[in-house]
Amino acid sequence: MALAATVNGAVRRIPVWAVYALGVLPPVWYFYLGLTGGLGVEPIKALEQKIGLLALQMLIAVLAVTPLMRLTRINLMKFRRALGVLTFYYVTCHLLAWLVLDIQDPARIWADILKRPYITVGMAGFALLLPLAITSNNLSLRKLGPLRWRRLHKLTYVAALLGAVHYVMLAKGLQLEPLIYLAIITGLLALRLPMMRRARTA
């Protein structure tokens, strides 16, 4: 486990604020590209999709922290809250791109949430992330107590599945990429099932 020791040593030297500082940038960068022609001739859809993918990728990173530690001893636990908060930030940016730039019409936004299953699923995922974002501070952790806090934050699992299903549902035709995201997220969740954990330790 020399690799794990090296990585863990490096992790100790990287401050958490650096993860926040770097993580905030991609949506801002995409927005800048969208303004200056870097996202092609239809920048609204491109911005929406790129930030949506960022959110899914960050969700995968969050879900990977625990299995990575169990399987390889690489410990990224220090960054997990930052990754979770950044996930919420990306999902919010994705939602805002859709609301403000794409749909534009408040009446239609509500109709779409009710009528279009992939939007209903996506919005449900966002709604589940809200209480997690609100309780992502030490004060909430103390107030809720670690047990209840941890139970609440298992909503991440449901939100991740909803996010992946949202992506599968909006693709036209049988496209590979959304299915790969769904498979990775399902796999990371499956690793948490008690029988999978027993099988590995046995």
Partner 1 sequence: LPRGAAAASRYSTDAEPNSYEDITSYNNFYEFGTGKGDPEDHAGQLTTEPWSVKIDGLVDRPGTYGFDDIMAKMTVEERIYRLRCVEAWSMVVPWMGFELADLLDIVGVKPSARFISFETLVRPEEMPGQKYPVLDWPYREGLRLDEARHPLTILATGLYGKPMPNQNGAPLRLVVPWKYGFKSIKSIVRITATDSQPQSTWNMQAPREYGFYSNVNPEVDHPRWSQATERRVGGGLFSRRQDTLMFNGYGDEVASLYAGMDLQKNF
> What residue ranges bind partner 1 (CB under 8 A)?
31, 34-35, 40-45, 47, 101, 104-105, 108, 111-112, 115-118, 169-176
Contact, 157 vs 192, CB < 8 A?
yes
Q: How far is the CB of 23 from partner 1 (least distance, A)?
A: 22
Handedness of CA 129, 98, 96, 61 (dihedral sign): positive
State phi, psi for 141 to the nearest 5 degrees: -60, -45
Is residue 107 classed exposed, middle or buried when 0-12, 13-18 and 19+ CB atoms within 10 A define those classes?
A: exposed
Nearer to partner 1, 21 or 35 (CB): 35
Nearer to partner 1, 44 or 144 (CB): 44
Q: Are 111 and 100 in contact (CB under 8 A)?
A: no
Closer CB to partner 1, residue 6 or residue 104?
Answer: 104
Provide, rounded to whole angstroms, the least separation between the CB of residue 108 and partner 1.
Answer: 6
Closest approach of Cβ 48 to partner 1, in Å? 11
Token digits of residue 92: 């919010």
- Rank residues 146 and 173 by Cβ distance to partner 1 and give the closer one: 173
